[in-house]
Structures are given as C-alpha cells and as structure tokens.
Chains A and B, each alone.
Chain A
Amino acid sequence: MPDAAQPGLTLPATVARRRRGLRGSQLRHRVAVIFCQAALLAALLAAWEYATANKALNAFLFGSPSEIWGFLVKMWSDGSLMKDSGVTGLETLLGFLLGNVIGTVLGLALWYSRFVSRVVQPFIVALGSIPIVALAPIVIIWFGTGLASKVAMSTLSVIVVALVIAYKGATGVDDDQINLMRTLGASKWQIFRKLVIPSSLGDIFAGLKLTVGFALIGAIIGEFMSSSEGLGHAIFKAGSLYIIPKVFAALVATIALALFLSFLVGKLERFLMPWRKPD
C-alpha cells in the first residue's frame, strides 16, 4: 500500500484512486478473472474424478482428486503435512535468502569494476550452465544428509540467477542519471548507494520472484537424493511405493508452499518500493 507507507501524504482523489487501481470496471474485471480461474480448476478436477470413477483413467496410476484430498486430510491430521512442509519450507527459505544475498551482492558489486566483471563473465556463464542435479552427490558428501545439504542445493540453484539479474539491473542505469550524479559531485560509492542500488531494486525483485521456484526445486532435489523428512522425501517415498495419490497430495502441498513464498516476496516488494504503482 503506497499510501499507507507515507503518513500525511494527501493525494488528489483521482491520483489516489489510480494508485490503488480499483476503479469499478477494474474491480469487475478482476472478479471475472478469478471466477474463470476457479471454474477452469473445478472443471479439470471434475473431469479427472469422472474419468477415474468410470475407469477411463487407471486410478492406481493417476490417482483421483477425492483420493488426493483424502491423503491431504490424513497427512494434516497425523501432523506430517505441516512437519514436512515446515522442513522443506525452512530449507527453501534459507537457500533462497542465502543465494539471493550472495548473488545480489556479487552482481551489484560487479558494477563497480568493468574490468573485474569482464574477467569473471566466462566463469559465471560456466557455473550457470551446470545442471544443479549433477552437483547433488557432491553436495551430499560435503554437507551430509541433514539440513545443510538441502540449503546448499537450494542456494546453488538461486545464486547464479540472482547474480546475473542484479548485474543486469546495475548496468542498466541511465547514463544521463549517472552524469547528473557526477555533476552534483557524487563519488563512485555515492552513485552506487544512492542511484545504482535503488535503480536495481525492480530487477532484483523480479529475480526474487523467479528464484522462489528455483530455491524450492533445489531443496526438493536435495531431499530426493538423501533425506528422512520434507515434502521431497514424502514424494520420493510415496512414488517408490506406488501410492500415486499421496505423491499428488505432497505435490499440492509443494505448490501451496511456492505460492505462499511468492506471496511473501510480493508483500516485501510493495513494502520496500512504495513508489511503484501496483500492476
């Protein structure tokens, strides 16, 4: 909420309304979009349920929405749903934070020296092209089978993307803007702090939204390789035992986790960049 972040800010009514982006027609449009999304999901689930009930789809291989729901309820009541989600959520969050902090700091710092950025460019490209799955065995050997290896996997999935995006944001600053800062007498560090970092925030947040998914993938891969808990572990175990509905139930929990983390990033973005109009 841009307005709430600025107490005492009095905007003309038209501006305030435009900022909140909720004029009548827009509101109706948004409701229509949500309604169609819900309808699409319901139709898909109904077709799936119908097909498995009539043996058009093999319920053993494909599960059915009602069985998946049953497993979700069971996992909820025995506490494993929250526990596994919590474990994977923690791994993802730590990897997401670590990867983004390291990647963003390095990416922004590369703005400082064109020479250093030229030197390291091929190395970054090389690191970025390594499939993270291929690193999993080494990571398990180095970091063990506990939390650390999952966080490491998650961090590795995030770091290069965050670095490249932050660097792109930092080097995308308008030259005229930099010249203006120079004529105001700003040092390179002041230009970096007062212009480059805030200018890059938009790109950095785009990167955060993107890397939420990557962090989760890293954590799940880590759990696949070796683990005793977490959603990835639940999926792997249920899959090995051919309990397909349980695989889907854990997948639903994974998707919910991803949506929840994306939601948090969106909140943070609106809090840190109040000058931005919401999309």
Chain B
Amino acid sequence: MSAVPAKSPVAEALPPPLVVSGVGKSYGEDEGEPNEVIGDISFSLASGEIVSLVGPSGCGKTTLLNLLSGLTPPTRGSVLWHGRPLRGVPKGVGYMLQKDLLLPWRTTLRNVTLGLELTALSQGEREKKAHSILNKVGLGSFHDYYPSALSGGMRQRAALARTLVTEPEVILLDEPFAALDFQTKLILESDMAKLVRSEGRSVLMITHDVEEAVSLSDRVIVLTHRPSRIKAIHEIHLDADRGDMMAVRDSPHFTGYVREIWSQLDVRMGNR
C-alpha cells in the first residue's frame, strides 16, 4: 500500500471541527471545597488531523473526553463544534473506549448497524454499509458471530467498525487499544490509521501510551497533573508511511519524540 497523505486537503475554509477554549471542570463547587479536575485547556482539532492527549495517570483525561462529547457540561470555558457552542451530545461524533461495549445479544453485523438504526436509512442500506465496513476492518466473514465468540482484538475491530459506519467527522477515542496485546495493537492501530486518514476524518485520542500517541498522531498534547493544563504541544513529523505502525517506529525521529514526551509527563514513582 502506498503512503497515505498526512492531511486531507478538503474543507480548509470551514471552521475547524472542534475548538476548545479555556475549558475547566470542577466537582463539588456547591459544597465549598471544589475538586478541580481540569484546570484550563485550550486547543483545536483541524479537519483530517489526528491529535493525541497524553498525561500522567489520573489527570482527568476521561473527564475531558466526556466534556468534549457533551456528556457532562464544563464548569468554565467553551467547546465549539464547527463554530457552534456545544449543547448536549453533538452529531457526527464517533466514540470508542477501551471497553468494546458490544451488545452481547446482537451479532457483529447488528452491533455495527446499531448506530445506523437511529437514522433514516432502510435496513437494506444499513446492512450494506455495515458489511462494507466490516470487510474494511477484516471482519467480513465474522458478521454472524455473537461477540462472545470473538477474540479481544476482533471485538475491538467490531467496535471500530461500529464507530466508523456512521461516518463521523470526528472520532473521540479513549485508550481504545489499551487492553490488547502488543502485536494486535500495532495491527489494529495501522488499520485504523489507514482508514481514518484515507477518509479524511479527524481523530482526538486520549491515551497514556506515549509510543501510541507519537506513532498515530500529527500532534501530541501533553497534559499536567490535576488540575490538568497543557504542558507542551508537539507537532509530529515522521518520514514514514503513517499507516504502518512498524515503519513509523523505525523512522529516525520516533525515539526522540517519545523520549522528550516521556520526560515531560512528570511520572512520579512511588508516593504520589
């Protein structure tokens, strides 16, 4: 397969799909002793861009993701989707977690069509789309299986298919590959990178895995401890096929990025 372009040329004139400005979140403000989880975070996600947020464990990454997907409202600041302030759960956003969240009573195919059932598509169109995306993630012949008969990697592939089938402009990922073994992870990351880059989708990924962040992303944002703020932003330029996680790891600058980000992560050993 030839090298996939790093950025798709479409939609340069439109406002970026996601703009986060001055967002913060505190819990328990009413009780007088607020627990500030997110201090002050601002960044934007351009169309067709893959951005990773990395931070020390417990830095409120998942809280941040819930803020961006409209599941919880921020205490301060604003989240703009396509220039419009976020109200409720935005449309055109895919959401994928470490847990595959497949419904055990549905076959792989019917799990993938779930998101489409909430649209106006007919059943025939839904299944056609689902079959096509299952083929792309390599699960074509497993469409009739219940999740209980699939391996961990296959289940996560099915979850990826369910996320992509609704053709979201932006995909939010919360450590999607953290539960997989290293080989499965590399293959799945490569497949995902090829798919989302060829289709020009934007991805915002939250991860604690620095190598994963560097190998997949155009930009890596490093967060501080709680209350989290942005510590550094790295533009990742790697001279390799960005859809091949092995090739990316072999490229000359890879290790440099990983080392630098690691040193900024401020990982405290022992007592925290």
Contact = CB atoms under 8 A, between A and B. Distances in A.
Contacts of A19: 149
A218 B107 CA distance: 40
B114 interface: yes
Nearest to B99: A176
Interface residues of A, number: 28
Contacts of B149: 11, 15, 19
Interface stretch (A70-78, A103-111, A193-201): A193-201
Contacts of A179: 66, 69, 71, 95
Nearest to A184: B115
A182 B101 contact: no
A176 B93 contact: no
B135 interface: no
A190 B118 CA distance: 8
Nearest to A190: B118
A138 interface: no
Contacts of B66: 179
Chain B contact patch, size range:
20 to 34
Interface string B90-133: 01011101010101111100000011011100000000000000
B118 A185 contact: yes
A177 B104 contact: no
**Of listed B66, B69, B91, B95, residue having the most chain A CB within 10 A:** B95
Interface in A156-190: 174, 176-177, 179-180, 182-186, 190
A16 to B, nearest CB: 9
B184 interface: no
B254 interface: no
A198 B105 CA distance: 7
Given A6-B144, A275-B148, A194 B89 contact: no
Given A15-B149, A176-B101, A198-B103, A182 B144 contact: no
B91 A185 contact: yes
B148 A184 contact: no
Contact of B89 (A10, A183, A190): A183
Given A9-B145, A277-B148, 15 more contacts: A9-B144, A19-B149, A174-B101, A176-B97, A176-B101, A179-B95, A182-B89, A183-B94, A184-B114, A184-B118, A184-B166, A185-B89, A190-B118, A194-B117, A275-B146
* Shortest Cβ-Cβ A-B pairs, 4 listed: A183-B95, A184-B115, A275-B146, A198-B105
